[in-house]
Amino acid sequence: MILRELCDAIGVSSGEDAVRDLIYTHIRDYVEDVRVDALGNLLAVRRGTGAVDLRVMAAAHMDEVGLIVVGYDSDGLLRFRAVGGIDARILPGMRVLVGPERIPGVVAWAPIHVNSSEDTVSIERLRIDIGVSSRDAAQNAVERGELIAFDSRLIELGPTVRGKALDDRAGCASLITLIQGEPFPFDLHVAFTVQEEVGLRGAQVAAQAIKPDVAFVLETTACHDLPEDPDEPDQTTITRLGGGPAITVADRSMVSDPRLVRFLAQTCEREGIPFQFRSPQHAGGTDAGAIHLTRSGVPSAVVANPCRYLHGPASVMNLSDFENQSRLLRAAWMALTPAVLERD
C-alpha cells in the first residue's frame, strides 16, 4: 500500500528527502523531465495525448508538521519548538523520533499524581526526554536544529486509516495513482512540494517554474464532525468523514476559482462521485494559496480528503473519500478544456 509507505516515511518540513525518494520510485516509469529544484520540490511531466492545449499543474505537499530541537537542559532534556501548526495541548506524553538517527523520545509531562488541572500547556515549557541525564550526553546524541517527528505508524481501522502525515501523503498517494493511470488529454505538470506547512513555500517556486494556465491541489482538510458540544453552539463541521472528497470554496489563503468549483461539482454529479464543499468560513490554507498568486494569476482549485485530528500522530481518514479524490480528478481532467476557463 503506497499510502502506508508514504505516511510512515518521515518528512518534517525542510527534511522531505525520504518522502521524495519514495515518490520518485513510484513515478519514474511514467514521467519525463524529472527534476528536483533548489528548494527540494520534485517536479515532473506526465505526457498527455496532446488533444487539449493547456498547461495544467497538479500539486501535493510532501512535508508534515513536526518539531525542531532548539536547546538542552542540564538534566539532558531537549528544548524544542513546532515546525508548522501544532497544538501544544496534544504533546505531553507523545512518543517522538528525534533527528536522522530517529532516536526515540517522549514529550515529558508530570504524571497525574502530581499534575494540576490548572496547568496550561505551552511549547516553551515542554521538554523531550531521550533517556540521557546530562547536557553533554544530550548534545552528543542530538544536534540543535534536528527535526523531530511523531512516532506513529499507519493502521487500518474498518473503513478508515489512522496515522501521522495523512496530511498530505494522502494527496501525494492520489497524485501518484493519477500519474500511473491512462494519460490525460494534456501534459500534466506535477509538483510534489516542500515546506507547505511553514508557509506554502515550495509551491510558490514550483508554480513560477511551471507557469501553469490552471492548477489543482490535492490536499487533506480538517474534519470536525463529532457530536456537537452544547457549550460551543457555533461549532461547524468543516467537512464530514465519509462524505466524499471536499471541494474548497474558500479558505484563509484563497477563494477558489468559481469556474473550477462549478466544473468539479458538475463532474461529480455526472460521474456519480460523492463530494462535499469544504465549509468556507474556516481558517487554514493550502499550496493553492501560493500558486494562484504567481505571475499574472493562476485559476486554482483544491480537492481535499477530510481528516479528523489533523496535525497529530493519529489522524483518521475514510478510504472511500481517499479513493474518490483521484476518481474525481481523473474524471475532471479527462473533461477539462480551455472552455472551462472562458468568461461568460
Residues that bind Zn ion (CB under 5 A): 167-168
Q: State the minimum distance, in angstroms, from the CB of residue 287 to Zn ion.
A: 8
**Please, which residue, 167 or 251, has the CB nearer to Zn ion?**
167
**What is the distance between the alpha carbons of residues 109 and 106, in angstroms, rounded to a whole number?**
9
By beta-carbon proximity to Zn ion, the closer residue of 128 and 290 is 290
Pick between residue 63 and residue 187 the one whose CB is nearest to Zn ion. 63
Query: Cα angle at 245 between 286 and 327, to 5 degrees?
Result: 110
Question: Helix H segments across 190-257?
Answer: 201-210
Cα angle, residue 63 at apex, residues 28 and 251 outer, rounded to 5° = 115
**Cβ closest to Zn ion, residue 77 vs residue 149:** 149
What's the Cα-to-Cα distance from 29 to each of 20, 24, 32, 46, rounded to whole Å?
A: 15, 9, 9, 10
Determine which one of 196, 197, 228, 342 is catalytic. 196
Contact indicator for 78, 210 with CB cutoff of 8 Å: no
Nearest partner of 333 among 110, 175, 141, 106, judged by Cα: 175
CB 305 within 8 A of CB 322: yes
Length of the chain: 344
In whole angstroms, give the CA distance from residue 273 to residue 115: 49
Rounded to the nearest whole angstrom, what is the least distance from the CB of residue 312 to Zn ion in the complex? 13
Of the candidates 108, 90, 2, 126, the residue with the CA atom closest to the CA atom of residue 308: 90
- Smallest separation (angstroms) from Zn ion to the CB of 78: 26
Give 16 or 168: the residue with its C-beta nearer to Zn ion.
Answer: 168
Grid coordinates in use for 184? 490525460
Q: Provide, rounded to whole angstroms, the least separation between the CB of residue 111 and Zn ion.
A: 34
CA distance 172 to 3: 8
Shortest separation between residue 227's beta carbon and Zn ion, angstroms: 26
CB-CB contact of 283 with 254 (8 Å): no
Cell numbers found for residue 94: 507523545
Q: How far is the CB of 28 from Zn ion (least distance, A)?
A: 24
> Whose Cβ is closer to Zn ion: residue 146's or residue 168's?
168
- Rounded Cα gap, residues 266 and 273, in angstroms: 10
For this structure, is 196 an active site residue? yes
Which amino acids are annotated catalytic?
Answer: 196
